[in-house]
Copies of this chain bind each other. A is one copy, B any other.
Amino acid sequence: MIKAGIIGSTGYAGAELVRILLGHPQAEIVWYGSRSYIDQEYASVYGNMFRLVDSVCRDDDLNALADEADVIFTATPQGFCASVMSDELLNKVKVIDLSADFRLRDVDVYEKWYGITHKSPSYIKEAVYGLCELYRDQIAGARLVANPGCYTTCSILTLVPLVKNALVDPATIIIDAKSGTSGAGRGAKVPNLFCEVNESIKAYGVATHRHTPEIEQELSAAAGEQVLLNFTPHLVPMNRGILATCYAKLKDGVSEEDVRAAYESCYAGEPFIRLRGSDLPETRWVKGSNYVDIGFRIDQRTGRIIAVGAIDNLVKGAAGQAVQNMNLLFGLDEKTGLELVPMFP
């Protein structure tokens, strides 16, 4: 059994890690970290875990945790993981960081978009970007995995086959994304109150959202050229789900068949990517699962493709992907514990 510790287990992503790991046949949770709820029963914070988890929440004692665990998940605010990173830690345990600390390869980009100083830039190079479908091999041998952001997972996987195969003009990419409210976290803030979110939709972080450089980094890598794009997230009155509606100009002569072939060759055999063709994804079809559903339509009038991706932000967008990374790190079948049937309605 893999012994797993979770720092930040009482946020929504942390709680989803608990849900998934409880059903994982080869892992067990040995540490429920939570600065806000130290010494409180985990099941008193998440009532769904009543009788399933009988542990109390513990403080962030990385050293103690590293001695008990084989893998640590850090589902913590930006900056935390970087502040505690060390060789001593990585020599003892694998670390899967759900924050953004090690996602961006350029520390200047990180510091500019996040507005904080990176505390351990020397580990950026070692860290592997944990988008399993793209970096499977590197992940397997890593000590430190930078688990991708929710919007970025959905956006990158939807667009990579198009830019990698040079089917679209990268300068024309626009991503209009919509997320359920669990993406906003469990912090007690007025804008996330039920009555503020319910019966409304809004854009936020327009032209400034921090997932932008992460998407650009990966699409640039796939395109072999620098990609700048617009990414606009929206808050939707639902608990879970991300839908990314992506626009780009097709290059001359690119046919629907070319696009279909690109997706199919990119994602052949991928266990968690479901290509739906022209039957566009909806978030209800992936809820609770680790699937990425992708579909597309071509508008012959404007020469644009509209590619749409859907994920559950807490699963493939956070905890599920983290467990997928764990499986890779420990040589398990990537699907172990992740064959979650989407729950509808």
Chain A count of residues within 8 A CB distance of the other chain: 81
Segment touching B, from A58-66, A150-158, A294-302: A294-302
Query: How far is A38 from B230 in the complex, measured between Cα atoms in Å?
Result: 37
A284 contacts partner chain B, Cβ-Cβ < 8 Å = yes
* CB-CB nearest in chain B for A36: B190
Q: Are A243 and B199 in contact (CB under 8 A)?
A: no
Q: Which residues of B contact A201 (CB under 8 A)?
A: 178, 236, 238, 241, 243, 282-283
B interface footprint on A67-100 (CB within 8 Å = 1, 0 otherwise)? 0000000000000000000000000000000000
Chain B's closest residue to A278 (CB) is B206
Kindly state whether residue A14 has any CB partner on chain B within 8 Å. no
Question: A147 to chain B: which residues have CB within 8 Å?
Answer: none
A195 touches B (CB below 8 Å): yes
Given contacts A198-B345, A234-B245, A306-B232, contact A189 B186 (CB under 8 A): no
Report chain B residues within 8 Å CB of A230.
247, 299, 302, 304, 306
- Nearest B residue to A179 via CB reads B201
Any B CB within 8 A of the CB of A136? no
| Cross-chain contact of A194 among B178, B193, B344 (Cβ < 8 A) | B193
Q: Is A109 close to B, CB under 8 A?
A: no
* Contact between chains at A198 and B194 (CB < 8 Å): yes
- Residues of A214-246 contacting chain B, CB below 8 A: 228-230, 232, 234, 236-241, 243, 245
Query: Which chain B positions have C-beta within 8 A of A206?
Result: 280, 297, 299, 306, 308
Interface residues of A in 171-217 (CB under 8 A from B): 172, 174, 176, 178, 180-182, 184, 186, 188-190, 192-204, 206-207
Given known A-B contacts A48-B287, A284-B199, A306-B203, A341 and B22 have beta carbons under 8 A apart: yes
| A285, CB-defined interface residue at 8 Å | yes
Are A243 and B238 within 8 A (Cβ)?
A: no
Residues 18-63 (chain A) with a chain B CB within 8 angstroms: 19, 22-23, 46-52
Q: Please tell me if A161 contacts chain B, counting CB pairs below 8 Å.
A: no
Contact residues in B for A240 (Cβ distance below 8 Å): 199, 345
Within 8 Å of chain B (Cβ to Cβ): is A141? no
CA A96 – CA B288 in complex, angstroms?
A: 27
A12 CA to B343 CA in the complex, in Å?
11
Q: A48-B286, A245-B232, A287-B48 are in contact. Are A239 and B280 (CB under 8 A)?
A: no
Asked if A237 meets B234 with Cβ closer than 8 Å, knowing A176-B245, A195-B182, the reply is: no
Task: Please name the residue on chain B nearest to A243 by beta carbon.
Answer: B201
A276, CB-defined interface residue at 8 Å: yes
Instruction: Show 18 A/B contacts (Cβ-Cβ < 8 Å), sorted by A.
Output: A12-B345, A23-B341, A47-B285, A47-B344, A49-B341, A174-B304, A176-B176, A176-B247, A182-B195, A188-B188, A188-B189, A195-B239, A199-B287, A200-B241, A201-B238, A207-B301, A228-B302, A230-B304
Pick the 10 closest A-B CB pairs, nearest first.
Answer: A200-B284, A48-B342, A202-B282, A195-B345, A207-B299, A176-B176, A47-B285, A194-B197, A239-B345, A188-B188
Add 14 more A-B contacts to A195-B345, A237-B237 (CB < 8 A). A19-B344, A47-B285, A50-B274, A174-B174, A174-B304, A176-B176, A181-B193, A182-B195, A182-B345, A186-B190, A199-B345, A200-B238, A230-B247, A230-B302
